[in-house]
Structure 1
Amino acid sequence: MKKIFPGLALIAGTFVFAQNTSTDATPPSTTSSKIKFGLKAGLNVSNLSNMDMKSKAGFYGGVFMNVPVAKNFSVQPEVLYSNVGAKQKGDGNAKLEVEYISIPVMFQYKVLPNLYVEAGPQFSFLMDARLKDNVGSLHLKDATRGFDFGIGLGAGYDITKNIGVNIRYTAGFSDIVNKSHRYLYGYDRTGSVKNGVFQVGVNYKF
């Protein structure tokens, strides 16, 4: 948890700078220049590279702030709870559940008045990791690295001025497994174990 606070402080400072820049550069009467806050939630479909497992459904949800910085261009930092992982292949029902607090910082460009594309980094901090089946659960937090870095690409559509839908794929760049604990993951091959997460959801701007 201590690792999260410096990252939040750095991002918060960036937000304040972006807010001041947007206010100075755009007339106050332009409603599109207003900073907006909102909520978002949706479905994760995730998998792990180099693991003999299949995709698993999960949940994400959290808050965001949209900061216009130029015409048709904005920065949207988010703080999300995100449940990812993978599922056992075949008839088994074992699931690898990995929970993060994720902080994406997305750079958005409006290609149409209601349609935007986005890209940006994501910084994720581990909350918990466990392997669950009918018998019980095996805790894997010590076997999982506490930080994950990824890059997200996506798009969104504003149905109304308050309600929108969005899709995003985030590719992890970090090996999430501690090398000294790979046996707990049943992982004995070369290469890294990385997150890959597809998201689809809704958002509400205040």
Structure 2
Amino acid sequence: MKKWYAILLLLSALKVSAQEISFIPEVGLGLSNITNSDNNSKVRPGFNIGMGMEVIWNERVGMGIGVNYLVLGNRFTTDYISYTTKLDYVSIPVYAKGYVYKGLFVFAGPQFGFNVVRDDGRDYDELSDLDKMRKFDFSIGVGIGYQWDFGLQLSASHNLGLIDVWKKYPDEWSSSGKKYNSIFQFNVGWRIGF
């Protein structure tokens, strides 16, 4: 119960220093891949869903923080084999937000990801040893969007991971370089002010 009081106190303090605080539930399409993968690596389409909170200090500057579920990974296809690497994360983005013209805004900042699904779709013991994969991801995101006065918000962004997905590579991958998550997102949300 004390935690809820602390959260309410924090929100009240933010409200005093901010012009507006809004919650933004959103859903969208994600197109992810893993950098430095084989030429046969393809984009894995997926969804993302989350809840964000935006604090606006003046008509030009704000900050956003959220909790999202992201479907990441890639697809791999050759004449002999086909599988999908599934790396899903619960992520916490923290973005600085700038309104450049009317409802048009840009945003950028870090995103902290916690892996919740790890499945490479293969049965081979060495290749599917997912304990070799990291459970934490850190990325930088940049994006652009538009906010309508009645509440609708559309955005497009790109997040590029800065931490290697693998702690230890399978032997046949050791020379291919570090591998990072990469995702393009297209989201639709609805701003709920209070």
The TM-score normalised by the length of structure 1 is 0.79
> Please, which runs of 5 or more residues in structure 1 have no aligned partner?
1-8, 27-32
Matches within 5 A, 1:105-124: 105-124=94-113
2:75 is the alignment partner of 1:87: yes
Q: Give 1:55's aligned residue.
A: 43
- Select the structure that is richer in helix: 1
Q: Secondary structure at the match of 1:142?
A: helix
Do 2:37 and 2:176's aligned partners in 1 also have CA atoms closer than 8 Å? no
Answer with 91-100 or 104-113: which moved more. 91-100
Q: Deviations over 1:18-63 (max 9, x none)?
A: x625524x6xxxxxx2201121111110111121112111111010
2:20 is the alignment partner of 1:20: no
Do 2:20 and 2:57's aligned partners in 1 also have CA atoms closer than 8 Å? no
The TM-score normalised by the length of structure 2 is 0.83
Alignment-mate amino acid for residue 158 of structure 2: Y
Alignment-mate amino acid for residue 193 of structure 1: K
Q: Give 1:147's aligned residue.
A: 136
Q: Pick the aligned partner of 1:183 from 166, 170, 192.
A: 170
Where has structure 1 moved over 6 Å in runs of 4 or more? none
Q: Secondary structure at the match of 2:82?
A: coil
Q: Give 2:114's aligned residue.
A: 125
Q: Give 1:164's aligned residue.
A: 153
**Equivalent pairs: percent with the same residue?**
29
* Bigger relative contact order, structure 1 or 2 (CA pairs below 8 A, ≥6 apart): 2
Q: Pick the aligned partner of 1:71 from 39, 59, 64.
A: 59
Q: Give 2:186's aligned residue.
A: 200
Answer with 155-164 or 76-85: which moved more. 155-164
> Please, which runs of 5 or more residues in structure 2 have no aligned partner?
none
Following the alignment from structure 1 to structure 2, what is the Cα–Cα distance between the partners of residues 124 and 140? 20
Note the C-alpha offset of 1:16. Answer: 2.9
Note the C-alpha offset of 1:140. Answer: 4.9
C-alpha RMSD of the superposition: 2.7
Do 1:123 and 1:150's aligned partners in 2 also have CA atoms closer than 8 Å? yes
